[in-house]
Amino acid sequence: PICANARRNYLTHSVAEWIESADHPKLVTLTLKHTSAPLDHQIQHLYAFFRELRRRRDFKKAITGGIWFFQIKKSKNDGLWHPHIHAIVTGLYLPRRRLSRMWSEVTYGSFVSEIRSVQDPRKVANDVARYATSPGTLVDLPPDDAIEMVESLHGRRICGTWGTARGISMRPKLDTESGKWKSVGSWSTVMGMYESSADARAIVFSWKTGIELPDGISCNKIDQAIESLGENAWADYNFESVFDHERSPP
C-alpha cells in the first residue's frame, strides 16, 4: 500500500541516519521458545520480558539505547507462532553468550538471542523499517490464523525507541493547516490518474494522512490538457475514482 511504502521509506532514512552516527551499532534479535499459547498471550509476555531486560542493571551498563521492531511468523515445521523483537542498539561490547543468559533469566528459559555488528546501515535500516510497517504476512495464512494475527496486533505498538535513540522520529511530520490552499488538480483527474501517476498517488496519500505534500507535485497540467482538447477528445477515457466509495470530494 502507498501509505506503508511511504512510511517505510521515511523510517529507512531516519534509522540509517541514526545508525551512521551511532556509537558501535549492533543488531539484536530476541525470541521466545515455541509454545501453543494464544498469540495475544505470547506477545504480551514478549513485550513484558523485553521491558524487564531493559531495566536490568547489567544490560543498561552495556546497552545505552536503541530502536526496537516487532515481527511475527508462523513456523512451517510445527505450526506454532514465532514472535520476536529486533533492536538496533548502541553501547559496549556484549557477548552473545552473556546476552543469552540475561534473556533466559527474564523469560524463564528462552535462550535464543543474537547480537552482531551492523556492517551496512542502509540495508539494516531497510530491513527493520519493513518489520515496522509490516510485522507479519497475512497472504499465506489460513483465515483463522490471519484473524488471530490481526486481532492480536490491533492497537499495539510495533516499534519504539529508548535511551540514546529516543529522539528519533518514527513518523513523518504531519502538516499543520496554515490557512493557505493551493490547487493540485481536480478530484476526477487525481483519482482517475491514481494508478498511472506518481503525483496523483502522492496527492491522495497526503490527503489521507495529513502529511505535507512536497512542492512541485500536481495534476494541474493534466487538467489543462483536458480543457485545451475539449471533453469529446477524452470521451473514451474513464476518469472515475479508483476508490468506489469515494466518488465525491472530501
Summarised one tens digit per residue, pLDDT across range 209-218 is 777 777 788 8
Domains by residue range for the chain, with CATH? 2-163 (3.30.70.1910), 174-250 (no CATH)
Instruction: Tell me the pLDDT tens digit for each residue of 223-239.
Output: 787 777 655 554 555 54
Instruction: Tell me the pLDDT tens digit for each residue of 21-78.
Output: 888 899 999 999 989 999 999 999 999 999 999 999 999 999 999 999 999 988 888 8
pLDDT at 241 over 80: no
Mean pLDDT (the chain) is 82
Let me know: does 27 contact 99? Beta carbons within 8 Å: no
Instruction: Tell me the pLDDT tens digit for each residue of 150-207.
Output: 899 888 888 899 999 988 877 766 555 555 677 888 888 888 888 888 888 888 888 8
- Strands 26-31 and 63-74: what pairing? unpaired
| CA distance linking residue 250 with residue 246, whole number of Å | 8
What are the b/e assignments for 70-97, b being 16+ CB within 10 Å? Answer: bbbebeeeeeebbbbbbbbbbbeebeee
In degrees, to the nearest 5, what angle opens at C-alpha 57 toward C-alphas 52 and 58?
Answer: 105
